[in-house]
Structure formats: C-alpha cells, structure tokens
Amino acid sequence: MRKFISLWLLWVPLVWLSGCSPEYNWRELSVADDRAVVMFPARTQTEQRKIDVQGLTLAFSLTSAAVGDAVFSIGYASLDETVSPAKAQMLVDAFVQALYRRVGQSVPAQAAAGEVFTLETDVNGRPSRLLGRVLVHRGMLIQVVVSGPTQSLSRENASEFMRSLVLR
C-alpha cells in the first residue's frame, strides 16, 4: 500500500505539470525589421545567410519554430531601393517556384502572388502538407511557410499561423 501511495503521489504532480506545458504555446513576434508581426507556436530561432536569387545577392533571415515534426517559419530579405517592381515580382515568383519544387510539384498557372497556397504531398512515405505565402511589403521580401506531416500538422494550426501575419 505504501508503494502505491508513493507512486500515486509522484504520478499526480507529473500529470499536473504535463498539463502546464501545452504542445502549442503561441507567442507574437515582430519580424522583417518591424514590417510584420506573426504568431509562432513555440520558441523561435533565427538564422541568417546570403543567397543568390535572380541575379541578386540577398541577406536572408529565417525565423522558425518547430512543434513535433511541423516547422513554422518566416523568411525575409531587405530589397535595395533600386530593385524595380518587375524584379521584385520575379523574386516572388522564384521563391514560390522553389517551394513547389521542394515538394516535387510544378507551379500552376493560376498561382497568385501574395496569396496563401497549400501543397499536399508525401515526404518519406508520409502524407505531408505545406502552406506558403510570398510577397514584397515596404521593400522587404517576405516568405511565410508552415510544413509537416499531416498527422502532426493540423489544418487549423497551419491556417492559424498563416492568418496571424500582420503587415505594418
């Protein structure tokens, strides 16, 4: 009986503590040099690197958070004021095409710039989804992506992340 009580006293606090650490812990974060705010479901990490796209070298920052196998991210790069609107559109198109290629699909003709798109695919034999949006806002190229296995990434959580983007 004493062993049972000891186990029970250990089990009750563990159950209580597990309820205090939800899998999704949404928090607001300002990104893209304060040009946007987005809600992340967990702590974030930011990495920066130089990338070459459409003949331009961009300082690209990627802020992301992971919950299980799902990854929530926003990437951004400041565009030089000499980048024309046509060149900015070419950059948006290149980023959208890269996301489609990442999942082995071709970009449909009706893909609208700046709009959220959803891709369903298999990754390592597991059904997966990717939601993306690429746009230019106040001289900043912004790419918002959430991806992961459909088993661990619900449409609701993916959509919540995408809807949370507020441009300033």
pLDDT category of residue 23 using cuts at 50, 70 and 90: confident
Domain spanning 23-167: CATH 2.60.120: no
Is residue 10 over pLDDT 80? no
Residue 2: predicted pLDDT: 55
Residue 110: predicted pLDDT: 60
Token couple for 88: 């900015």
Q: The whole model's pTM is what?
A: 0.82
Q: Where are the domains of the chain?
A: 23-167
Contact assessment for residue 126 and residue 148, using Cβ atoms and an 8 Å cutoff: no
pLDDT tens-digit readout, 34-61: 999 999 999 999 999 999 998 889 999 9
Token couple for 155: 């449409």
Residue 111: predicted pLDDT: 62
Task: Give the rounded distance of the alpha carbon of 128 from its chain centre.
Answer: 14
Task: Give the rounded distance of the alpha carbon of 96 from its chain centre.
Answer: 14
User: What 3-state DSSP class applies to 21?
Assistant: coil
Is residue 68 over pLDDT 60? yes
In the chain the first and final C-alpha atoms are separated, in Å, by: 62
pLDDT category of residue 15 using cuts at 50, 70 and 90: very low
> Within 10 A of 42 (CB to CB), how many other CB atoms are there?
18
For range 96-121, the mean pLDDT: 81
Contact assessment for residue 136 and residue 92, using Cβ atoms and an 8 Å cutoff: yes
